[in-house]
Structure 1
Amino acid sequence: MSLLTGLMLRVFAVVAACLAGASAWTMVEANQSIRTELAATATRVQTEARSLAWREVMFRGNEGSQARLAFPEWRTANSLRIVGPGYCVTLEWNGDAPARVCGGDPGRKTGAAPEWFSNFNAALFGPIEPELRTVTSGRHEVGTIRAEADQAIVDWQAWRQVSVVVGVAGAMAVAIALLASFAIGHALRPAEVITRGLKKLEDGDLSVRLPSFAAREFAQVASAFNELSERLARSTEQRAAVTRRLFQVQEDERRSLARDLHDEFGQCLAATRALAAAVAVSSRDRPAVWDSAREIGVISEGMAATLRSTLARLRPPELDEIGLRPSLEHLVSGWNARTATATRRPTFRLEVSDDFDDLAAPTALAVYRIAQEGLTNAAKHGAPSLVRIRVARVSAPEPGVAVSVDDDGGGDASALSGGGTGHGLIGIRERVDALGGRFVAEASDLGGVRIAASLPLGAASAMAA
Structure 2
Amino acid sequence: MRLVLQLVARLFIVVILCLGAATVWATIDAYRSVDRATAASAERVSVALEALYWRELMLRSSRMREQLLPAPEWRTIQTMGLISPGICVRVEPAGAFEKPLCGQSKGIGQTPPRWFAATVEAVLGSHVPVVQPISTRAANAGSVAATADPDAAIALAWQHVLDNIHLALLMAVAIALLASLAIAHTLAPARQIVTALQRMARGQYRTPLPRFRSVELAMIGQAVGELGDRLAQAMEERAALTRRLLEIRSDERRALARELHDEFGQNLTAILAFANTIEAASAQEKDQGNNEVAQDARMISQATHRIMACLRDTLNRLRHPPAEELGLEACLVDLVDSWRSRNAAQPMIQLDLKGDLADVRGAVAAAAYRVAQECLTNSLRHSSAREIVLRIERRSGAENALLVHVEDDGGGNAAKVAASTGFGLTGIRERITALGGSLSIADANRGVRVAATIPLAA
Q: Is the 8 A contact 1:19 1:169 kept in 2?
A: yes
1:292 aligned residue: 296
Confirm or deny that 1:112 pairs with 2:110.
Answer: yes
In the alignment, residue 299 of structure 1 is paired with which amino acid?
Answer: A
Instruction: Give runs of aligned pairs for residues 27-176 of structure 1, distance below 5 A.
Output: 27-38=27-38, 41=41, 75-88=75-88, 96-97=96-97, 99=99, 101-104=101-104, 106=106, 108=107, 112=110, 119-120=115-116, 122-126=118-122, 129=126, 147-149=147-149, 151=151, 153-168=152-167
Separation in 1 of the partners of 2:14 and 2:416? Answer: 49
1:353 aligned residue: 354
Confirm or deny that 1:431 pairs with 2:427.
Answer: no
Which residue, 313, 337, 343 being the options, matches 1:309?
Answer: 313
Closer, same or farther in 2 for the Cα pair 1:119/1:44, shift >3 Å? farther
Separation in 2 of the partners of 1:215 and 1:135? Answer: 62
Deviation larger for 379-388 or 307-316: 379-388
Closer, same or farther in 2 for the Cα pair 1:358/1:101, shift >3 Å? same
The Cα of 1:370 is off from its aligned counterpart by 1.2
Q: Is the 8 A contact 2:394 2:400 kept in 1?
A: yes
Q: Is the 8 A contact 1:90 1:99 kept in 2?
A: yes
Confirm or deny that 1:404 pairs with 2:402.
Answer: no
The Cα of 1:399 is off from its aligned counterpart by 0.7
1:413 aligned residue: 415
Closer, same or farther in 2 for the Cα pair 1:10/1:259, shift >3 Å? same
Structure 1 segments unaligned to the other structure (5+ residues): 460-465
Partner SS state of residue 440, structure 1: strand
1:247 aligned residue: 246
Closer, same or farther in 2 for the Cα pair 1:374/1:102, shift >3 Å? farther
Partner SS state of residue 403, structure 2: strand
In the alignment, residue 307 of structure 1 is paired with which amino acid?
Answer: L
Q: Is the 8 A contact 1:129 1:148 kept in 2?
A: no
Partner SS state of residue 455, structure 1: strand
Deviations 1:177-218 (A, max 9, x none): 655555555555554444444333333234434455555555
The Cα of 1:409 is off from its aligned counterpart by 3.1
**Cα RMSD (Å) of the superposition?**
4.6
Deviation larger for 88-97 or 373-382: 88-97
Q: Is the 8 A contact 1:438 1:455 kept in 2?
A: yes
The Cα of 1:233 is off from its aligned counterpart by 4.1
Separation in 2 of the partners of 1:70 and 1:32? Answer: 31
Deviations 1:410-443 (A, max 9, x none): 33527837xx5333333222211221222334x3
Closer, same or farther in 2 for the Cα pair 1:355/1:105, shift >3 Å? closer
Q: Is the 8 A contact 2:413 2:443 kept in 1?
A: no
Deviations 1:156-189 (A, max 9, x none): 5334434444555555565556555555555555
The Cα of 1:355 is off from its aligned counterpart by 5.8
Partner SS state of residue 393, structure 2: strand
In the alignment, residue 373 of structure 2 is paired with which amino acid?
Answer: Q
1:201 aligned residue: 200
TM-score when normalising by structure 2 = 0.75
Confirm or deny that 1:15 pairs with 2:11.
Answer: no
Q: Is the 8 A contact 1:378 1:384 kept in 2?
A: yes
Separation in 1 of the partners of 2:365 and 2:148? Answer: 104
Structure 2 segments unaligned to the other structure (5+ residues): none
Partner SS state of residue 356, structure 1: coil
The Cα of 1:24 is off from its aligned counterpart by 2.2
Aligned residues: 445
Closer, same or farther in 2 for the Cα pair 1:155/1:405, shift >3 Å? farther
Closer, same or farther in 2 for the Cα pair 1:198/1:95, shift >3 Å? closer
1:272 aligned residue: 271
